Structure 1
Amino acid sequence: MKKNLVYGLLALATLSISLNSCRTDEMLTGTEQAQKEKIAFFERFEKERSLSKNAESNNYALPFANSMLAYFSNYPEKKTELENKYGTVDLSVSSQDMDLENGRKLLMFPMLTDGKVTAVIGGVINEERDFLYFDVYKENHPDRSFLIKTFQNHYSAKAVSRNDSNNPINVGDVIIIVKKPQLTKPDPFDDPGGNGGHDMGGGNGDFTDGGSGGNNPNTPNTTNPCEKMKEQNQNTEFKAKVAEIDKKEIFDKDKETGFSAAYGQPKTNYEPLSNNNDNLKFPHGNKYYGYMHAHLDSKDGIVRIFSPADIFTFLTTCVRNAETKGSMTDAYGMVITSQGNYILKYSGDGSFGIGPGTLARWQSSYEKVFSNLTESQLLDPVVLEKAFTQFMDEKVKIDGLEVYKSEKETGNTTKLKYNKETNSVVPTPC
């Protein structure tokens, strides 16, 4: 398959976007665990395939299907969301697997509503078998109608209704031969760092086309983070939302509270973040460029500054959505705690890459740092700020990613940066 092969797909694999309050004993998130499960499917399959003479063992639909099932198992709400919009994925019917450049593979499954094929979803796995995504073909893609018709011919001929159970045991019984996708634009998988929005560990992908670019009319044109925050802090609605979170009764709750900031007309829209097992999640859509949320006092071991998941979500959701809808400097992430309020900003060019194992690596390093702090140190903002900025400098290492402290009374911000030579935090007031 030529390099510029494109599927013109809509993102499925990046649907789960969450903000986790970080405890010192926190384990890997469910998303990262699911990713390792999916990769194991391919490793097992290819080992067995290399030792087996059974022709059925050559069907890559099995690991692709089991990967999708693992994802749906971890995120059942996303399965429901996908089915409501496109139909049920029939994992007992697939295309042949197609070899792409650099050892990648593509495979497709039909999606049905009331027994009719209404969409086609494709999966791509890289040569290393450590990066996988699934996307739904867009309505305007030149291959979409052909693929739907080709799969539908099978159901029409066999009078097969949709497979509601999605049982992977029978995967590969039916293989539909389809043509390779047409060449239309650069292959999104050419960016294995995750910038294309297909990383199953998180990102800005959803079921929309991403919308058109251009600045939001209500977004200040300045690109200076300090100026952005000064203008934001003068906004009555922003200040009201911060005040709604920044109070003792919120910190004493047993569940976190938060809001998302979305581009809107004629002003920014603030919508509540849903709380699922103490993981805050954005509403559906890709218009969200910012968030604010609380870290609690009611639970032991809470780190009262950003968690790795907070950073991950800021970069893969807020920055990428702002890049599409406005300007990357619009993006912000805010954590509000009883000890201090902090803001993440990004002033880079968007060239950072975040892969499927990034969050797990950050989480592991983060836990090593903060689990070594005593309870009194965890209650000391100076200690936390040094530990966090050092973690950002040495482990996250993304140019343009900045952290600011926001004064509770005035909202004035100060940039916090770790200095290796002095092993200390250098504050720079805006």
Structure 2
Amino acid sequence: MLLLCLFSTMIFQSCRTDNTIYEQEKGEQSYFSIFNNPNSNTSRKGNHYQEAFRTLYYSYLDAHPENAPDFSNKNILQVDFRFASQEIIDDDGKVYVLFPVVLNENVVEVVMASVNKELSEVGFHVLVKNDDVKSVIDTFSKKMKKDKTGTYSGPDSNIEEVLIIVPPKEKEPAALVEIELPPTGNCEIFNICGGSGGDFSLNPPDSNPCVKINELLTDYDFSLKLANLDKPDVFGLNHEMGHAAFFQNGSTHYTSMSNYSGTTKLIPPSGSLFFGFIHTHQNFDSDGNPTIKMFSPADLDTFLSLCATMHIIRVKLAEAYAMVVTSQGNYIIKYNGTASWTNPGPGTMEWWNKWYKDEMRAIQNADKSFDQDKVEKAFLKFLKERVGIDGIELYSVDKNSGDTKKLSLDANNNLNTPIPCQ
């Protein structure tokens, strides 16, 4: 069972300092292959180290739920993994990344995550707040404020890199800071000695997607969330609405996803790992133009990152889902395969977005509206020709009966007869 977002008694970091270094077994030294193979000269592109540190953080909490904080409580210090510094390399080969620590959505501290040259030891600690660190806090704060105004796009599932011009020279851990962080240690502590880092080869889910979709749609709490979103007045709003699902104390809970007036992006919850989300697409954008009533490339990116993270921390992929609720139809995507992929970076997303927009523009009617069957076909073609990950499946959900059907294309890119879920 995925153990996430559990309540925990906060422990002073200073009280844990003496116990943060775990003894490693003598003999052959294990390493974190999530970063890189130490015998390989290949380099990673994009924000690989940032994503790896985030994954290790949640992997540790999944293995040690007694240390997990209450992620829904904004009145406690939390690492905001939506933002990170560039990778910084010391003279001794140690790689570290800086992350903002927030309290009530304000940056107040900085966490340094580091891995040694041999990739055998990872550590997280809050930095002493000297002038250099105060400058880093100011840089993160400015970036986050710009993001909230809509000047910069929301983070979705990606970590946005914030360039730190002058990295801190002193990297001493701060004392008396109330925040839960993983201890310094080897890969066994994080329960993640193996794997390939940014590339993911997944085992197939152990349950039929139709079974999991039916369980989802008949769940009382989920059905209430769906009913509250599937309304004409909601589709008429000038911003999207949605909820993210996470496990807590053995049951599923939901948290609202942030949104801003005049925007079309929902921001996944900061500091919490989730396994599914449901959200709306509005009838019109901020300029009054009809919107595309289907998953966007950004929605798919969020779903893929969700699947990859769930795989790394060894939880059931059958639980993963994304749902979009629109006035023209409701849809769910599930994963049901063994495909390998690398999470899309900025270049891939730009390529996806261009293809998606061009394809949708080509099927747009003279009045700028869209025929929904053509939208379904275009999205499936997008999955097939641009995304190319076998196992991503699209399902339509009838608004009245809740009946679910799998949608697919034939060899000529025409819609097959939908297959009802039994």
Please indicate the TM-score interval, normalised by the length of the shorter structure.
0.5 to 0.7
Whether 1:400 aligns to 2:391 is yes
Q: How far has the Cα of 1:425 moved from its partner?
A: 3.7
TM-score (norm 1): 0.57
Contact 1:259 1:271 in 2 (8 A): yes
The structural deviation recorded for 1:162 is 4.8
Show the counterpart of 1:288.
Answer: 274
2:220 pairs with 1:225: no
Amino acid at match of 1:96: D
Mapped pair 1:260 → 2:254: no
- Displacement, 1:265? 3.8
Q: Distance in 2 between matches of 1:334 and 1:323?
A: 23
**Which residue of the partner structure matches residue 254 of structure 2?**
270
Residues 213-252 of structure 1 aligned to structure 2 (within 5 Å): 223-252=207-236
1:319 and 1:192 map into 2 onto residues whose CA distance is: 9
The match for 1:362 is 352
Give distance in 2, aligned partners of 1:347 and 1:245.
Answer: 27
Aligned to 2:332, the other structure's residue is in SS state strand
- Whether the 8 Å contact between 1:6 and 1:187 is mirrored in structure 2 is yes
Query: Which of the pair has more CA radius of gyration?
Result: 1
Residue matched to 2:309: 320
Q: Give the residue type in structure 2 aligned to 1:369.
A: E
Distance 2:414 2:99 in 1: 56
**1:388 counterpart = 2:382:** no
Stretches of structure 2 that go unaligned for 5 or more consecutive residues are 1-27, 36-44, 51-73, 103-108, 140-162, 172-183
Alignment-mate amino acid for residue 341 of structure 1? N
For the aligned residues, what is the CA RMSD?
4.7
- Amino acid in the other structure paired with 2:394: V
Does 2:345 match 1:343?
A: no
Structure 1 unmatched runs, 5+: 10-34, 40-63, 65-80, 100-104, 125-136, 197-220
Task: Provide the rounded CA distance (Å) in 2 between the counterparts of 1:263 and 1:293.
Answer: 18
Contact between 1:319 and 1:346, CA under 8 Å: does it hold in 2?
no
Q: Distance in 2 between matches of 1:321 and 1:296?
A: 29
The answer to whether the 8 Å contact 2:114/2:122 transfers is no
Query: Are the counterparts in 2 of residues 262 and 268 from structure 1 also a CA contact under 8 Å?
Result: yes
Distance in 1 of aligned mates of 2:377 and 2:323: 18
For residues 413-428 of structure 1, what are the structure 2 equivalents within 5 Å?
A: 413-421=404-412, 423-428=414-419
Change (3 A) 1:123 1:406: same
Which secondary structure does the structure 2 equivalent of 1:232 belong to? helix
> 1:257 touches 1:293 (CA, 8 Å); kept in 2?
yes
Shift of 1:318: 5.3
Change (3 A) 1:86 1:275: closer
Question: 2-side partners of 1:169 and 1:227: how far apart?
Answer: 48
**Could you say what secondary structure the match of 1:348 adopts?**
coil
2:325 maps to amino acid = I
Higher helix share: 1
1:279 corresponding residue in structure 2: 265
Provide Cα deviations, 1:100-143, integer angstroms capped at 9, x if missing partner. xxxxx835669999xxx98533489xxxxxxxxxxxx9xxx966
Q: How far 1:320 sits from its partner (Å)? A: 3.0
By how many angstroms is 1:230 displaced?
Answer: 1.7
Q: SS at 1:282's partner residue?
A: coil
Deviation at 1:280, TM superposition (A): 0.6
Go from structure 1 to structure 2 and tell me whether the alpha carbon gap of 1:182 and 1:361 turns closer, same or farther (over 3 Å shift): same
Q: Does the 8 A contact of 1:195 with 1:353 survive in 2?
A: no
Note the 1:118-197 alignment, pairs <5 A.
119-122=111-114, 144=123, 161-166=131-136, 171=166, 174=169, 184=187, 190-193=196-199
Structure-2 separation of matches of 1:323 and 1:173: 31
CA pair 355-266 structure 1, distance change in 2 beyond 3 A: closer
User: Across the two proteins, how many residue pairs are aligned to each other?
Assistant: 301
Contact 1:95 1:108 in 2 (8 A): no
Distance in structure 1 (CA, Å) of the matches to 2:387 and 2:164: 41
1:227–1:164 Cα change, 3 Å = same
Aligned match of 1:129: none
* Residue identity opposite 1:191 in structure 2: G
In 2, distance between residues paired with 1:223 and 1:328? 9
C-alpha contact 2:78 2:271 (8 A) present in aligned 1: no
Sequence identity percentage = 27
User: Is the contact made by 2:199 and 2:340 (CA closer than 8 Å) also made in structure 1?
Assistant: no
Amino acid aligned to 1:420: A
**In 2 relative to 1, CA 396–378 (structure 1 residues): closer, same or farther, beyond 3 Å?**
farther
Which residue identity is paired with 1:273? M
- Matched position secondary structure for 1:418: coil
- Deviation per CA, 1:321-366: give whole Å up to 9, x if none: 4774741111111111111111011112474322423322221211
More displaced, 266-275 or 371-380? 371-380
TM-score (norm 2): 0.58
Aligned partner of residue 251 in structure 2, secondary structure: coil
Larger relative contact order (C-alpha < 8 A, sep ≥ 6)? 1
> Is the contact made by 2:200 and 2:308 (CA closer than 8 Å) also made in structure 1?
no
Spell out, residue by residue over 1:11-40, the C-alpha distance to the aligned partner (whole angstroms, 9 max, x if none): xxxxxxxxxxxxxxxxxxxxxxxx98x99x
Structure 2 CA distance, aligned partners of 1:284 and 1:6? 25
For 1:347 and 1:279, how far apart are their aligned partners in 2? 26
1:21 aligns with none
Residues 342 and 98 (structure 1), Cα distance of their counterparts in 2 relative to 1, 3 Å cut? farther
Distance 1:248 1:314 in 2: 26
